[in-house]
Structure formats: C-alpha cells, structure tokens
Chain A
Amino acid sequence: MLTQVLTRVALVVALALVFSLAVFIGRDRLASLRTEWRPRLRQSAPAFALLLVILGLNRIMRQDGYDISQAYGVHMTEVFYSLEGDFVLLFRSIATPEVTTFFSVSYVYVYAFVLVFPVVAYFALSNTVVLRQLLTAYSLNYVIGLTFYLLVIAYGPRNVMIEGMDATHLYYANPEYIHLTTEVNQNRNVFPSLHTSLSATVAIFAYMTRDQYRAWFPVAVGLATSVIISTMYLGIHWAIDVVAGLVLAAVCVVLATQLVGRWSLSALLKRVQAAGQSTAASGPNREQGDDGA
C-alpha cells in the first residue's frame, strides 16, 4: 500500500514538475541547463551530498531516535494544549469534504512538489549560489528539527481533541496517507512542524529570487500557505509548532546564506594540490577563496 501511495505521489509530482518547468523556467534557461549542467552539478555537489547524508541520518534517527527520546525527551503535549487551547479547531468552521480533500492534497502532494520544484528551478540558474543555499537550508531544517524531535515529545491536536477533529481528520478521510506519514515521521514528533519550516523556506527563497522567477514567488507563497494551514486543519500540528516552524525557516535561511560561499571546497582542493606541487615556494594561489578561517 505504501508503494502504491508513493508511486502516485511520485507521478503527480513529476507531472506537476513538467508543467511548471514550462511555465516558470522558460526555454532559455532549460537550454542553458543542457550545456552547463556538469559544472553546476560539480559546484553544488557538496550541498547535495550534505542533504543526502542528513536524510540518511533522518532515517536512522526515526528508528533509534525513538528510544533516545523515550529516555530523555520532555513531554510537552499538555503544555501546548494548555497554551493554545482549541485554536486549531477554528479551522473546523470551514470544514467540508471538499476542503478536507484540498488540504489532504496540500499536505501530501503540494508539499512534495513545493520541496522538489525549487531545486530544479535553481539548478537552471547559471549561478549556483541560490541552489546551494537552498540545499543547505533544507539540511539545516532537518538537523535542527530532528534535534527538537529528540528532546520534545508532543502529540498533535488530533490525539487530544478527538471529538472536534473527526471531520477534518486526514487519516479518517484518507487512511492510505497514514502509510506515507508514518514512513516520514513519528506521531510524537510535532514540534516544530517541518512541513511548515520547509514550505516557508521555499517561500522565502522565492521572495529572494523574485527577480529571476517573477511568477513563482506568488505561487510559492500560495502553495506554502496551503501546506502550512493544512498541518493545522488536519490536526497534525499545533499552532505553536507552526510558529516554531516559521522561526526555524527564518533561522535556516539566514544561516544558509551566511554559510554558503564561506568555504569553497574546490579552492581547498586546489590549495592542497598546490601545496603538494610546490614544496619550495610556500603559499601560491593564496588569493583563491581564502575568505573564511
């Protein structure tokens, strides 16, 4: 059943990608991509590698982290509930089967698309800085988010306000998604909302690149907003998780823009080679990217 759901998600995202490549990126950029993909990939490879490592870690932590957080985590569900009360039940007032479908689709499909599309879009830019910043921001989101998951044990509103949640319950309306979400996350990992932080990260990047991708910016904001609201509408996250997710997004974007470009792996490599070649003359090529220490 998981594979069925996964295939469907992959298919839908692929279709949406093809469509949006045509709409947002344009023929010129795609054409340049054909000739320049090699150097761009080389430049952004470390950022890709970092993200892959962190996703791998995420997988491991999902299993082993559970035991760690069981031993050391702090239970916060009640605290969140007493802080914000029935806030997320506000969304119940707009609940209809159609709205539930809309937000279920947002939570699963739109979210996947929102994460994947910018990677492709920024890959199509001749300057890879934005791409590397985005990938680094993703990595930071996961690392910081996972740390919180280990330390804060909290269950989402659907586990607390059962009576008010039935109409909008993702699992009730679309039980097949359970397979997906349990694969992605534990039910006690809600603080902060990674759906929120990653979508918001994408939206912030859309703002930063609005000169390159004018049309994507409003679309990204719209899609991210629907994903963020869906987390509360479906009773998966508290408003507190969402706020924390927004803060996390801002922190990650700032950190990513600070970090990327600070160290250059290729420069480091050259330096090592140079040091190997000329033992007599010390420190040629010094001027090449020695901006951090």
Chain B
Amino acid sequence: MSDPAPSTSPDNHTRDSDDAARGGPSRRSMLAATAGLTVSMSGCIREVRSIVNRDEVAPLSLTISTVPADGDRESIQLARAVGSALESVGADIAIDMLSQEEFQRAILVNHDFDLYVGPHPGDTTPDFLYELLHSRFAEEAGWQNPFGLTNLAIDDRLDEQRVATGVAADADGNGNGNGNGDEGENGDENETSDREDAITATLETVAREQPFVPICRPTEIRLARSDRFQGWGEGHPATRFGYLGLEPQSDGASAELRAVHTDARPSQNLNPLSAEYRERGLSTELLYDSLAVAQWRGAGDRESETDTATDVSPWLASDWEWSDDDTLLVTLREDCEFHDGTRLTAEDVAFTYEFLADTTRGSRRFAAPAPHYRGRVAAVDDVTDLSETELEFTVAASQPVAERALEVPILPKHIWDERTDQASLRGVTVSEGTTEALVTDNVPAIGSGPYQFDERTDRDHLTLARFDAHFTRRDGVDLPEPTSEHLRIQIDPRSTSAIELVESDSADVTSSPLESYVVDDVFEDDEAISETTVLESPSWSFYHIGFNTRRAPLSNPRFRRVVARLLDKEQLVEEVFHGHAQPIATPVVEEWVPDSLAWNGSDPETPFFGTDGELDVAAARDAFEDAGLRYDDDGRLRVRH
C-alpha cells in the first residue's frame, strides 16, 4: 500500500487497485471509489480499517475555572499565571470566570471542571484531608473529594491517621475523662506521637500524588475600630469568637456591632449545609451552636504556644467523657432553646448527626449526605439520645478526631425534618439526591446560637439580633457572650471601600480578610488613624490548583507533578499577594508540617522548573514527555482523552 491517504482520483484508484478491479468497474468498486477507498478486496481493507480506525490523539486543551477579580483578585491572577505557564509548554488554555456561586457549584456539586484555582477554607487539624481526598467521597458534593481522586495508597494513609492514637492514652489508663481538651497536656504530648507519624506519612503521600497543588497560605489582615469595642483579636475574627465577648465602649456600640463583609453570599443564603454559599460559615456559626468549639487563637496571642490551637472545648455540651475507646457520653446544657422558642433536646442533636449523614433520612434508596461536615460525621457510627440532655456517641476514630465531630451545627429537628424531600421545580428535572435541605436558602434561619436572624437585604446587609436566652448570657457560664444587641453585616464588594467604612466610622470591623493589594495601605493608614487597629490573625485557608482527576491527563499523577513544578510559588506570593502570604508544599497549618515538607526556599517535593520566576521550558517539556505525554511537530502537547 503506497497511498495511505484516501484517494478520490480515479487515476490513483486504477493504479493502486489490483486485477480484480481492472477487469471492469463493478458496482462495488465504483462505490468504493466514490467513497474514496482503495479497492482492495483482501488484506488491504484490513489495513485501511486499521489506519482509519485509530483515534486522533488530540492537542491538550484545558479550561481553568476561577472567579473574577471582583470576587477575588488573587485567584484570577494565579489562574493567569498557571495558564501562561501551561501555554508555554504547549497546552491550549482557556480561563473560565464564574461568579462565586457558579464556581462553587461547578467545582463542588457538578464536578464540571478541568482545573480550578481558588482558596480552600482549610482547617486547623490535618483531618480535613480525610474528606478532601478519600475515594469513598469521590461522588459526593461539597469539599468532599471534589478532585474525584481514587487512590488506595492515600485512602490507607487517611484511614490510618484517623484511628492512630498515642501509646499514652492507654498507658495512662486515660480512657476516661480526658475529654475537655484543656486538661491532660502531658497526655496530649505523648499521644500525638503515633498520630503525628501517621499524619506525616499521609502528607508525604499526598504531596507525592499532588491531587491538588497547594500554593500559599495568605496572611489574614482585618481592620477594626478600637474606639468602639475592646477585645478585638482575642477570638479569631473568621469565627464566632471574633464577635463574642467584645466590650462595647459606648451606648451606640452596645446597640450595634457593625461588620463589613466583601462577599455578598451571607445576605443571600443562611443554609449551613449549602455547598455554594458556605465556606467558613461565620454567619451560620453565630446562628447555630455546636456541641463543642475549637478555641481558635485570635490576633492577640499569635506568638503564644501553638499546641492549644486545635483543642476543642465544651459549648452547647456542658461536658463529655469517654466511657471506653469507642463511646463518648455527652451531656447538654440544661434549658436551651431555639430562636423560635422550641426546646433544644438531645433528640435534636441525634437528629442532626443522622441528618448530616443522609438528608433523605432513609426515605430514598440512595443517601444524600450534607456537603459539609462529612469527614466529621463519618467518624461517628451512631448517636443515641439517652435522656433529654444525654447522648451516647459510638465512634470509629481516635479521640482527637472524634471530638472534632462535636463541632457540627445543631439543627432543630422540627424544621429540618420536613426538608428531606427531593427538591422539585415544575417542568425541570432535578438531579437525584437534591433534597430540600441542600437547596433551601434557610431564611429566616432558626438555630440556637448567640445571635438570631433579624433581617436582610440581598447584596446589601444581613442583620442579626442578640438571642438573650443564649446560655452564654447566664450567670456562671464563663464563655464569651454576645454583647451588642444587633450585629449588622454590611455587604461591600471591595476591600478598599470596606476599609473606608471602618476609617470613616461607618463600620467597626472588616469581617472578610482584606485583599492583599490593600494591606500595605492599611498598615500605613493605621499609623495615621489612631482609632483603628489592624488585626493580623493566623490563617488556615490556602490557595491551590485543583485537578479533576476524573479526566485525562489530569488523572496522571506524573502530569500533575509536572504542572506543580511549573509554578514558582515564592514568586507568585511576591507578585500576586504582595508578599502577604507564605508559599507552602503541604496544606496543613504550620504545627503539623513535617520537616520533609517544610518550605526551604523552594518546594521540597515539586521544586520549580527554573529560577526567579523564569520557567525552564525545555526542562518542563522533557518532564511532560517523561510523564507519558507527547508533543506534535508544532510543539503542542497531545493527549488521548
């Protein structure tokens, strides 16, 4: 066969065809000729078929999803940097700008993306990696494995770190009464050893596989007015503690605490389970109580010892104790009620855990778990209410991991019980497992938290009113309480104008972290305006590139590793974050970073291909070829989808 290309010319046809055709143009050969096939009745057809039926190896074309600068200036700049690095090594890149809700829906609910760039809310303990990466969550919505990663080695590591306890817990006979985090410091120190090893192993495996590329951890800077309230920074301003326990300095301040938020979503939706509207859930933390709370350190004592950062202490639960390694007995505070006056009982608590695990409550064949708190709830096998105020938790995780399951918001049964039905919309097919609970905007929100819903205007403000019956306001309860009658969260789309509101005494605090491009100005202004104070708080959220590992070649860990090596994280921190961030190789907070993954001027696992932001394109291209991808004659990356 000399002419592999399909031929339409009759001359070619005659020359190439064999005797059978020459004897006279049969109908079949005519057909074959018009179809542009060489007429060859025997082996040739097979060869043609073999040539034609090979699929094209297509040029690699990827879309990077991100939010526009009005939502987050850093994300789009990072996305552009990633895009241009990938283009320089021969990939075809498009950038898709989506609004915040669209972005979260595309990534977290529909898993419809190639790569995305954005922040992850992060956590103070590494256990969040369990829900983020375990393959059992690959089909679920929310921050449950949005990458679709299915990797047995990582699963094993995640499972191990979850149950790893220290020798100390048993040696001390410390099974009982080690509950209240504050005590047993010695116990904790020994206890972490095994767990620490397991976590280190997990982090190293994750870094090797690069299901996502951690880029950096931005510094959290906020601006507050010091003349209206005292006590800023004693609680972390990304949590409820930033807004409880403040001491008003005037009548105006005790009437209203005015926060300004750059993200409009709290004014649109108050569903603590929403995948699209909740990341850190400051507003829902104020509206809903949890059994226990992690006492985040605020700005005030950031220099202090770090090992207390992840302890959980009682909140709605007055106390708990371990009766054995798998059983946790929780006692609720007496006489608590929801904002609508209904009593809060152990039944509501048991309901909440059941509901978060399956929002259909077993009414359908498939479970529809809540897109939040999955990793935490998954540590709990069973919850039984023993009396009005007592519950028994059966858990399948180490004690520190299981205690973090106590941090989920407690939902009133009488309201959420009716939200188990499949959400419906006339004339529209709604995807399976979309229960009312997951899509309701939940306005007004009825919780039991220190503040209750008052009013809101879409994209303008959310106003909460103090819940006077809250247990923190009782005598004898030594916990930070709501001090202002109202808490108004003003929505303001940009950091610059949010700062202006604080400086002109129209707001007390910027509740969203400020964008890094204004941080230098804030420090400057702060010097000039004595009534303001800059809150610098520890951060656990991090920017990253997420890969949809369901799609080729993103499913290839070698490919992902090379992509990670296209980024000069240090340079990006300088350029995009104006230096107000730390480059990272692993997504956990500093106290959990193993030496092997500590930043040492360069990424220890996936070092940058090049120097000073200048990408060594030739080396990167070689690496892609080593990873199994091919270049065509024009230097474009090709891939078999």
Contact = CB atoms under 8 A, between A and B. Distances in A.
B68 A159 contact: yes
Interface string B93-114: 0111111011000000000000
A158 interface: yes
A77 interface: yes
A159 B70 CA distance: 6
Interface stretch (A111-119, A172-180, A225-233): A172-180
Contacts of B61: none
A188 interface: yes
Contacts of B497: 1, 171, 175-176, 178-179
A175 B494 contact: yes
Contacts of A175: 494, 496-497, 500
Contact of B102 (A70, A78, A159, A162): A70
A158 B458 CA distance: 24
Contacts of B69: 155, 158-160, 162
B77 interface: yes
Interface in A152-185: 155, 158-160, 162-163, 166, 171-172, 175-176, 178-179, 182
A60 to B, nearest CB: 12
B73 interface: yes
A224 B506 CA distance: 35
B132 interface: no
Nearest to B495: A175
A147 interface: no
A162 B77 CA distance: 7
A9 to B, nearest CB: 16
Given A1-B506, A63-B458, A178 B97 contact: no
Interface string A68-89: 0010000101100000000000
Nearest to A154: B97
Main secondary structure of the interface of B (DSSP, over half): mixed
A155 B94 CA distance: 15
B367 to A, nearest CB: 27
Contacts of A179: 492, 497
B393 to A, nearest CB: 40
B501 interface: yes
A179 B496 CA distance: 12
B99 A188 contact: yes
Given A162-B69, A179-B497, A182-B493, A155 B97 contact: yes
A187 interface: yes
Contacts of A166: 517
A75 B97 contact: yes
Contact of B96 (A75, A158, A172, A182): A75
B634 to A, nearest CB: 19
Contact of B73 (A1, A75, A162): A162
Interface in B454-483: 458-459
B76 interface: yes
Nearest to B491: A182
A171 B76 contact: no
B494 A78 contact: no
Interface in B57-98: 68-70, 73, 76-77, 94-98
Contacts of A188: 68, 99
Nearest to B74: A162
Interface string A188-205: 100000000000000000
A145 B622 CA distance: 50
Contacts of B501: 1
Nearest to B517: A166
Contacts of A63: 458
Nearest to A157: B69
B190 to A, nearest CB: 49
B459 A78 contact: no
Contacts of A160: 68-69, 76, 97
Contacts of B493: 178, 182
Q: How large is the interface on A (under 10, 10 to 19, 20 to 34, 35 or more residues)?
A: 20 to 34
B512 to A, nearest CB: 15
Nearest to B501: A1
A78 B156 CA distance: 41
Interface residues of B, number: 25
B595 to A, nearest CB: 36
Contacts of B98: 75
A166 B458 CA distance: 29
Nearest to B500: A175
Given A159-B70, A175-B494, A176-B500, A182 B101 contact: no
Nearest to B70: A187
B494 A178 contact: yes
Contacts of B101: 70
A1 B70 CA distance: 19
Contacts of B517: 166
B68 A155 contact: yes
Contacts of A70: 99, 101-102
B95 A78 contact: yes
Interface string B499-514: 0110000100000000
Contacts of B96: 75, 78
Nearest to A67: B101
B68 A187 contact: yes
Contacts of B97: 75, 77-78, 155, 159-160
Contacts of B77: 162-163
A161 B575 CA distance: 14
Interface in A33-82: 63, 70, 75, 77-78
Given A70-B101, A78-B94, A159 B76 contact: yes
Given A162-B73, A176-B500, A182-B459, A171 B494 contact: yes
Contact of A178 (B76, B95, B102, B492): B492
Nearest to B496: A175
A239 B297 CA distance: 49
Contacts of A77: 68, 95, 97
A179 B491 CA distance: 10
Contacts of B73: 162
A75 B492 CA distance: 25
A65 to B, nearest CB: 13
Contact of B70 (A75, A155, A176): A155
B110 to A, nearest CB: 13
Nearest to B77: A162
Nearest to B105: A70
A244 to B, nearest CB: 19
Contacts of A182: 459, 493
B180 to A, nearest CB: 46
Contacts of A163: 77
Contacts of B70: 155, 158-159, 187
A172 B73 CA distance: 12
A1 to B, nearest CB: 7
Interface string B227-253: 000000000000000000000000000
A86 to B, nearest CB: 12
Nearest to B94: A78
Nearest to A188: B99
A158 B69 CA distance: 7
Contacts of B458: 63
B163 to A, nearest CB: 43
A83 to B, nearest CB: 13
B430 to A, nearest CB: 13
Given A70-B102, A155-B68, A158-B69, 8 more contacts: A1-B497, A1-B501, A155-B70, A166-B517, A176-B497, A182-B493, A188-B68, A188-B99
14 contacts: A1-B501, A78-B95, A78-B96, A155-B69, A155-B70, A159-B70, A160-B69, A160-B76, A172-B496, A175-B496, A178-B493, A178-B494, A188-B68, A188-B99
Interface of A: 1, 63, 70, 75, 77-78, 155, 158-160, 162-163, 166, 171-172, 175-176, 178-179, 182, 187-188
Counting from the closest, the 4 A-B pairs by CB-CB distance are: A175-B497, A159-B68, A175-B496, A159-B69
